[in-house]
Amino acid sequence: MAAAKIAPSMLSSDFANLASEAERMVRLGADWLHMDIMDGHFVPNLTIGAPVIQSLRKHTKAYLDCHLMVTNPSDYVEPFGKAGASGFTFHIEVARDNWQDLIQSIKSKGMRPGVSLRPGTPVEEVFPLVEAENPVELVLVMTVEPGFGGQKFMPEMMDKVRTLRKKYPSLDIEVDGGLGPSTIDVAAAAGANCIVAGSSIFGAADPGAVISVLRKSVEGSQNKN
């Protein structure tokens, strides 16, 4: 069974105080810290790159779960490996021709490879990457159109999660976009075990309680199945 992992999305944190925000999230029970890397091309927004990961790494031992919403993921593998990224999740839409090499290079730099898909991309596109001899170790199902925080959760994406969980019982399946106490049960029941949540954690009066609600929902669903 794939363990529950709650990953606050640092895009919703106070970027001017990233180190203390990271420390606070870990103290409140976060398993991973989700880092949104956007290049202004693959998605319209521009966020952070390897230098920020490198700076943050000096202040935390946490698992830095990096989601690369970029057009040329292969250009980022070496700098992110050097910077201290833990996971490197690329988008299938920009890696249809070179995903084998990409997975190999991510692993060679000591990072854990993952693949993500936009809402409009069929889930079948990632099957070969999970079943490869040298596979990805995580699939991130976007539950909003990537690029901006604070969007509404798309419940119809849960079909993708259910399909993946049925096919791959021990795979890390991550969901990102609009996750919070009101949407977690649907995602957990579908089989998601890695939960990215931004505004619902950082905007809460008691972020630790939200992290705990998310974890309990995942663990509760797993115990039922």
> Which active-site residues does the annotation give?
36, 176
* Token representation of residue 169: 């019982």
34 labeled part of a ligand binding site: yes
Does the annotation list 199 as a binding residue? Answer: yes
Is 36 within any annotated ligand binding site? yes
Task: Tell me whether residue 9 is annotated as binding.
Answer: yes
Rounded to 5°, angle at Cα 85 from 118 and 153: 30
- CA-based Rg of the chain, rounded to a whole angstrom? 16
Q: 149: annotated binding-site residue?
A: yes
List of residues 6+ apart from 65 with CB closer than 8 A: 7, 32, 33, 34, 35, 86, 87, 89, 174, 194, 196
Interatomic CA distance for residues 221 and 159, integer angstroms: 16
Q: Is 148 annotated as a binding residue?
A: yes
Beta-bridge partners for 7: 196
> Is 40 annotated as ligand-binding?
no
- Relative orientation angle of helices 50-57 and 18-27, to the nearest 10 degrees: 60
What letter would DSSP give residue 175? E
Instruction: Please check if 116 is assigned to a binding site.
Output: no
**Does the annotation place 147 within a ligand binding site?**
yes
Cα(35)–Cα(48) distance, integer angstroms: 8
What's the angle, vertex CA 3, arms to CA 55 and CA 65, rounded to 5? Answer: 20
Is 67 annotated as ligand-binding? Answer: yes
DSSP, collapsed to helix, strand or coil, labels residue 11 as helix
Binding residues for substrate: 9, 67, 147-150, 178, 198-199
Q: Which residues are annotated as a binding site for a divalent metal cation?
A: 34, 36, 67, 176
Q: Which residues are annotated as a binding site?
A: 9, 34, 36, 67, 147-150, 176, 178, 198-199
